[in-house]
Structure 1
Amino acid sequence: MTTAPVAAAQLPREPLLAVRGVETFYGKIMALKGVDLDVNEGEIVTLIGANGAGKSTLMMTIFGQPRARSGTIRFDGVDITKLATHDIAMLRIAQSPEGRRIFPRMTVYENLQMGAAVDGYAHFDEDLERMFALFPRLKERLYQRGGTLSGGEQQMLAIARALMSRPRLLLLDEPSLGLAPLIVKQIFGVIAELNRAGGLTVFLVEQNAYHALKLAHRGYVMVNGKITMAGSGRELLERPDVKAAYLEGGRR
């Protein structure tokens, strides 16, 4: 008796990003304690938690700095746990890090060129126009040094620089940090549009839990280096313990 093959559509699909049992240390201090987390293709997934919970450490560990001491990180079925950061970027993972970290002495144009280098400048002019449509202020500041931009403009530039590489996965670390509410609303609107219209997969680390969970399809809560809760953005928004810890007074 032969068994009919399972149709391709019925096979379980591996997450685009799969983090399994990841432990990361700073010297002897364990910052991540067996983290498990998935990001499926086409999703916006957010990670919320208090300062010092390990959120940014997880984001940096995915990108190879620092390295996971144990556990695995897989991207599109490929184990990237031990890959160098530049090799991870070549797989079309882009990061907009906490604190923006643009090149302050370079112009806006030169910063965007740096982002496009991963893609070999193959679509530079087209992508430049796309960034201008998303962030019109950058066109006005094109030949201005990055360090002279406002905080909101620098955040726009950091995200645009990451997008110039045409990523399949965008890692966003605290995009609302230190910004005025109007700028925060604009940036979260751009993230939502990139996901809705272009299917961009986004993993978002964010202290502004209210905005992040409203935006995300799914979310995780991290406490002291461990994932303690997971669910849809709506489910986490409605949980009394999440409201008490992260949302009271946080609607900015």
Structure 2
Amino acid sequence: MSAVMVEEGMKGAPLLSVRGVETFYGKIQALRGIDIDVYEGEIVTMIGANGAGKSTLMMTICGNPQARNGQVIYRGEDITRLPTHTIMAKSIAQSPEGRRIFGRMTVMENLQMGALLQDEAYFDDDLRQVFELFPRLRERQGQRGGTLSGGEQQMLAIGRALMSRPRLLLLDEPSLGLAPLIVKQIFDAIRELNQSQGLTVFLVEQNAFHALRLAHRGYVMVNGAITMSGTGRELLAREEVRSAYLEGGAH
């Protein structure tokens, strides 16, 4: 999607807006007044070290855990206190950290699970799209998910999310533990989805180099708080970002 199209989308209200969100695990505060916006048609990334709170933010958006303070607004609706299953039925899909596919089910059965809430009339077209995006899944469609390689499992997790026809795709650490070539394939697929369909993506990622190259805009999280924001290009050029997250990471 062109920068012009993104800018036009940003004139309206954000598709997703997080305002002053504080999340706790018991007495331990994990998120400290988080403010982010994701506009229609954007790829937005959140980078930060392991343990910074990135995945907690992703889970808070999905309602588990719920924010103790602040608001999560999606398409103008306050979803902060809604249960997770209600949130995910609102054209939001998540590919969680660690993939979490159904290991005993086949690739095809996993994809069918992703399509459960959608009209059956879309299934064949959506399946064709997933197989075009990830040809390996077509080859493995009768194979159990648990026997796939790590990269194939990540492709399946994203493919399963896409089968729900999301308006907002949440990706939590899609490159984690994968070889550089597979990481490139995953990020190329995300870019293709955004450019060809205008799919809005919020990406949480430790691999700052790939994430910021891909994203229209980005945020940096340190110890549960946002410390920097800007376009992907701007953040890639910041010396603080380069020294903290890119040394030896530009693969």
Q: CA deviation at 1:40?
A: 0.4
Residue 70 of structure 2 corresponds to: 71
Aligned-residue identity in percent = 74
Q: Following the alignment from structure 1 to structure 2, what is the Cα–Cα distance between the partners of residues 144 and 15?
A: 40
User: Any gaps of 5 or more consecutive residues in structure 1?
Assistant: 1-8
AA paired with 1:145? R
Residue 211 of structure 1 corresponds to: 210
Matched, 1:165 2:172: no
CA contact (8 A) 1:108 1:145 kept: yes
Matched, 1:103 2:99: no
Residue 5 of structure 1 corresponds to: none
Q: Following the alignment from structure 1 to structure 2, what is the Cα–Cα distance between the partners of residues 156 and 26?
A: 31
Residue 246 of structure 2 corresponds to: 247
Matched, 1:94 2:111: no
AA paired with 1:76? R
Residue 14 of structure 2 corresponds to: 15
CA shift digits 1:143-184 (9 cap, x unpaired): 111000000000000000000000000000000000011100
Residue 129 of structure 2 corresponds to: 130
Residue 43 of structure 1 corresponds to: 42
CA shift digits 1:40-63 (9 cap, x unpaired): 000000000001000000001001
CA contact (8 A) 1:89 1:118 kept: no
Larger Rg: 1
User: Any gaps of 5 or more consecutive residues in structure 2?
Assistant: 1-7
Give the TM-score normalised by the residue count of structure 1.
0.95
Q: Following the alignment from structure 2 to structure 1, what is the Cα–Cα distance between the partners of residues 215 and 125?
A: 28
Q: CA deviation at 1:84?
A: 1.1
What secondary structure is seen at the aligned counterpart in 1 of 2:130?
helix
Q: Following the alignment from structure 1 to structure 2, what is the Cα–Cα distance between the partners of residues 37 and 120?
A: 32
CA shift digits 1:185-241 (9 cap, x unpaired): 011000001001100000000000000000000000000000010000000000001
Residue 117 of structure 2 corresponds to: 118
* CA-based RMSD: 1.2
Q: Following the alignment from structure 1 to structure 2, what is the Cα–Cα distance between the partners of residues 155 and 193?
A: 16
Q: Following the alignment from structure 1 to structure 2, what is the Cα–Cα distance between the partners of residues 129 and 122?
A: 13
Q: CA deviation at 1:12?
A: 5.1
Q: CA deviation at 1:120?
A: 3.8
Q: CA deviation at 1:119?
A: 1.5
Q: CA deviation at 1:118?
A: 2.2
CA shift digits 1:59-110 (9 cap, x unpaired): 0100111111110000010111011111111110000000000000111011
What secondary structure is seen at the aligned counterpart in 1 of 2:210?
helix
Residue 238 of structure 1 corresponds to: 237
The number of equivalent residue pairs is 243
Residue 6 of structure 1 corresponds to: none
Residue 3 of structure 1 corresponds to: none
What secondary structure is seen at the aligned counterpart in 2 of 1:123?
helix
Give the TM-score normalised by the residue count of structure 2.
0.95
Q: Following the alignment from structure 2 to structure 1, what is the Cα–Cα distance between the partners of residues 37 and 121?
A: 31
What secondary structure is seen at the aligned counterpart in 1 of 2:116?
helix
